[in-house]
Amino acid sequence: MKNSRRDFLTKAAATTALTALPFVSYGKEYERAIDHTPKMSAPKDLKITDIKCGYIRGGHSLFVKIYSNQDIVGHGEGVDATPGTYHLVKIFSERLKGKNPLNVHRLFEDLRRRGFFEGAQAGMYVSVLTAVESALWDLAGKALDLPVYQLLGGKFRDKIRVYMDTALYQNKLPKPEDFAASAKEAVEMGFTAIKFDLDQSKDPNKYDAYNWTASPAEIQRMYDQMAAAREAVGPNIDICADMHGRYDTTTGERVAKVLEPLGMMWLEEPIPAENVEAYKKITDSTSTPICAGENHYLAYGFRPLLEAGAVDVIMPDLQKAGGLGEAQRIANLANLYYVPFSPHMVASYLGAMASCHVCASVPNFMILEWQIYFHKNPMFKEIVTFDGPMVENGFITLSEKPGIGVEINEEGMRKYAVKDVPFFK
């Protein structure tokens, strides 16, 4: 409004020389009055009025919008442990209505403490809390006209390096040459780091469907696939592998050992998340860096891993570990142990950019996950609104817009909404 009024006054003043001086004088005074007139109430008067949500991907992607009495809306996202949580979002809404959204840490702690007996230690409760907390940061940034990274204390970097998760899913029984081709494609797209999946439930060499011990033929298959990727891209591209927690400690040790000559960036989750001592046993047995954390929640969940020296790299999922403030606490905790912070990320571009604000704000950031689906599936461009390219040459440029810098596009998302679940109601 201010700019349009200025344009009007400038053009009007030029229409007649007879009244030019009086009009310009009056126009400048009017413009000055506009500049000094509050456009909204003070931040202390900002109040939450409602929280609404929508789900896609079978309910595994939750999007929330927090509304305020000043028509500023915050956007947030949660993943994985979110199916069936619509009513939990509405419970959180009732608990936050009338409160000032600028008190992000206080509201996070209010919801967490109130949920001590409702599951606030992990899982669905924390995943929904994550989406809400992220939306609070977005709303606060918009209200104060600052990007989220600035609210988190400033930035160490302007661009966030990402690795390409190729989604070369093992259920399709890919061959080593498929790994090589996928690795080359990622490098041609500008990425300098690539990730592959190694767990294969349909491997004909498995002992049986429930045995977590990999056979010698399975381990040979894993090596051959990763060796083909390494040969295809050479020694200066980072490659890493994910086992999705589907093996036992013995297998984790053997796979990590056999991959040592390939100079891996890391081997991710060879075993399930729960056993810190087993992770330490694998980590101590190999020079291949071991990475874990996407299935840990809150800073409490990362403390045992770090204290025991159980992993070389931590990878919290910032769309389910507790939120952006909690993610910064996790990163800072890891920094005390000189452990790199490399977040897991299977969200939309809203979640990706929210993660980038945290990655920019901590010194020990290493690399962020990026998904091939952003390039292959048009849905991921339809469900959000944003400026500029998503990624260039393996880096995301940090948004300088107030808040997160990416917003939910309800109309674009509507056709992907989960059936029979209320959509932003």
Q: Which two tokens stand for residue 411?
A: 């109309």
**pLDDT tens-digit profile of 333-371?**
999 999 999 999 999 999 999 999 999 999 999 999 999
Query: Residue 88 is encoded by which pair of tokens?
Result: 């939990």
Angstrom distances, CA of residue 365 to CA of 357, 361, 407: 11, 9, 24
pLDDT at 27: 53
Percentage of residues of the chain with pLDDT beyond 90:
87
How many other C-beta atoms lie within 10 A of the C-beta of residue 118?
Answer: 12
> Tokens 């996950």 identify what position?
369
Rounded Cα distance between 56 and 92, Å, is 20
Q: What is the pTM of this model?
A: 0.89
| Host H or E run for residue 65 | strand 61-68
Fold of 151-401: TIM Barrel (3.20.20)
State mean pLDDT over 286-296: 98
Half-sphere exposure of 66 (CA within 13 A, CB side): 38
Above pLDDT 70, what percent of the chain?
90
Mean pLDDT over all residues of the chain? 92
Cβ–Cβ under 8 Å, residues 156 and 363? yes
- Residue-wise pLDDT tens digits, 18-64: 344 444 444 565 455 445 544 556 788 999 999 999 999 999 999 99
Phi-psi region of 337 (alpha: psi -120 to 50; beta: other; left: phi over 0): alpha
Q: Contact, 75 vs 408, CB < 8 A? A: yes
Which is the CATH superfamily of the domain at 43-146? Enolase-like, N-terminal domain (3.30.390.10)
Cβ-count burial 283-316 (b if 16+ within 10 Å, e if not): beebebbbbbbbbbbbbebbeebbeeebbbbbbb
Give the pLDDT confidence score for residue 168 in this predicted structure. Answer: 83
